[in-house]
Structure 1
Amino acid sequence: MGWGFVTCGPNEALVVSGCCHMKPLLVPGGRAFVWPSIQQVQRISLNTMTLQVESPTVYTSQGVPISVTGIAQVKIQGQNEDMLLTACEQFLGKPEAEIQHIALVTLEGHQRAIMGSMTVEEIYKDRKKFSKQVFEVASSDLVNMGITVVSYTLKDIRDEEYNGVNGLC
């Protein structure tokens, strides 16, 4: 806990609470004055987090079991004050690993749902469509937690029965 002038780098935000503020003062990448004993300061990371989103053995709309791996870049949004406040309410004081886990579980759920609504051929031949759907659906959910999906890409599609997807398409 610091007092006086407190600074932070561009990859984190200060959250000053206590006397003199109706709601916490949010300072992304800057400095703030903290009164000793009547205010407290906490930090929240704004670093980009890379998540490997794995969905093993999910049945497509045709009932074919496939496994998909996607890579997502997510971060707590520091430029939008409402989103930053929401992220602070959800994650302040939690380790980055726990934040990553929450985002990962959310992304995996959406990835699995979209896999179940498409055919193997659609996923394999139109990877952009699949990636876009996961990105859009997950973004709308994660934004309610103060997290932005920076990017999502489909890394791998596998079918264990045929040793790859090429046997199906």
Structure 2
Amino acid sequence: MFGYRVPAPDEAMLISGGKSSRANTPFRVVTGHGAFVMPIFRKVRFLTLALCEAEVEEVCVTKQGIALNVRAVIAFKVGNDDESIVNAARRFLSDQDQMSVLTGRIFAGHLRSIVGSMTVEEIVTERQKLALEVLDGSKEEMAKIGLSVDSLQIQSIDDMKLGYIAAMAAPHNAAIQREAQIAQARANQAAAEAEQESKRRQAEYARQTAIVQAQYKAEIDRAQAEAAQAGPLAQAQAQREVIAAQTELAQREAALRQQQLVAEVIKPAEAEAERVRLLAEADAAKMKIQAEAAASHNRVALDRMMIDQLPQIVKEAARGLSGANVNILNGADGLGEIAAGLVGQGMSILDSVRKGISATSPALDAPGERADS
């Protein structure tokens, strides 16, 4: 809008040419909002409220008479109240850069004054104390010109190569270096111990690892050996079982073969031998009977003798068969058949003897015949 002016956030708008609401104030102060300015009849100027900076570098003489070059930085600005804005505007509105120049001069004077009341040791070791005393000394004077100080920093203190500060710091430097060396030695020792401990642990770990690996390898070798032997052992066991079964089978076959031999060869041979023996005994009996018959020339007596010998012949035949391997299949009937066979065998033997006697001794028949007739 024509004639309506608004100051920046970090500015104060000063309107002159009209009556102010405050006494002894030649202009109206507007901050944070706009105002209508009548053209031609009113005039508007702006005063910065932003933070400003001033640097101070001053040669100061201490309480001991030692010259020090002190550098400081002051951060300041125009106060926020209307009174401070009016005071600053009256002094710096036409040339606002003069605020930094005047602030630097004010602080330079207070800095020389404060440094002159302190020793070098105090200044070097208590910089904050120096800064606070300078601020306290300049606060009232800065308020008169409408300025407020936010901070004061002592940047450097230099004895201009006199060596006083260096000499003052030498014992501390030596102590610090000594402590640093001790600390370094301790650190080196700790590092060496840590390295030795690390190597020891690594060696112990390597040893344990080697032991475990050896155990694992032994177990693997044992398992492999057992696996490699499992096949031959199983094969050997199977062969042993086969051999045992074959041996048992061979024994059974041998026993069976022996029984077969006994049944097929020995028993028949024994039976044949017994038969031969019986025949021989019969022949002997026959010869005896023949002899007796020849001696007595009595056929009746011969027959009676043969009849008397028949039970003995049957008995001998039965005794010969007692050791033979004879299977009776029909129980009592079979046993009767065997007995009848033995009697028949005896009768056959008796008949053979009679025939033999008749063939060899025809003369014996005559008396008989005569006797029969």
Q: TM-score, normalised by structure 2?
A: 0.42
More strand by share: 1
Residues 21-59 of structure 1: CA deviation (Å, up to 9, x unaligned): 253111123312111111111011111111111112x21
Tell me, yes or no, if the aligned pair for 1:69 and 1:157 is still in contact at 8 Å.
yes
What does residue 128 of structure 1 align with?
128
- AA at the equivalent of 2:104: L
Residues 77-113 of structure 1: CA deviation (Å, up to 9, x unaligned): 1x2111111111111121x322211111111111111
Report the alpha carbon displacement of residue 148 of structure 1 after superposing the two structures with TM. 0.5
Residue in structure 1 matching 2:68, options 66, 69, 83 = 66
Fraction of identical pairs, as percent: 27
Q: Aligned partners of 1:167, 1:30: CA distance in 2, in Å? A: 59
Q: Aligned partners of 1:164, 1:16: CA distance in 2, in Å? A: 57
What does residue 110 of structure 1 align with?
110
Residues 105-149 of structure 1: CA deviation (Å, up to 9, x unaligned): 111111111111111111111111101011111122111100001
Any residues of structure 2 matched to 1:6-25 within 5 Å, and which? 6-21=5-20, 23=25, 24-25=27-28
Any residues of structure 2 matched to 1:10-159 within 5 Å, and which? 10-21=9-20, 23=25, 24-56=27-59, 58-77=60-79, 79-94=80-95, 96-159=96-159
Q: Aligned partners of 2:85, 2:111: CA distance in 1, in Å? A: 25
User: Secondary structure at the residue paired with 2:165?
Assistant: coil
- AA at the equivalent of 2:54: L
Q: Aligned partners of 1:114, 1:40: CA distance in 2, in Å? A: 44
Name which structure has the greater RCO, CA cutoff 8 Å, separation 6+. 1
- AA at the equivalent of 1:50: E
User: Secondary structure at the residue paired with 2:97?
Assistant: helix
Tell me, yes or no, if the aligned pair for 1:158 and 1:164 is still in contact at 8 Å.
no
Tell me, yes or no, if the aligned pair for 1:51 and 1:72 is still in contact at 8 Å.
yes
Report the alpha carbon displacement of residue 20 of structure 1 after superposing the two structures with TM. 3.5
Tell me, yes or no, if the aligned pair for 1:18 and 1:39 is still in contact at 8 Å.
yes
Q: Aligned partners of 1:141, 1:20: CA distance in 2, in Å? A: 29
Tell me, yes or no, if the aligned pair for 1:14 and 1:29 is still in contact at 8 Å.
no
Q: Aligned partners of 1:11, 1:164: CA distance in 2, in Å? A: 46
Segments of 5+ residues of structure 2 without an aligned counterpart are 170-373
Report the alpha carbon displacement of residue 164 of structure 1 after superposing the two structures with TM. 6.8
Q: Aligned partners of 2:35, 2:146: CA distance in 1, in Å? A: 22
More helix by share: 2
Larger Rg: 2
- AA at the equivalent of 1:80: D
Count of equivalent residues: 164
Runs of 4+, deviation exceeding 4 Å: none
User: Secondary structure at the residue paired with 2:166?
Assistant: coil
Q: Aligned partners of 1:165, 1:14: CA distance in 2, in Å? A: 50
- AA at the equivalent of 2:7: C
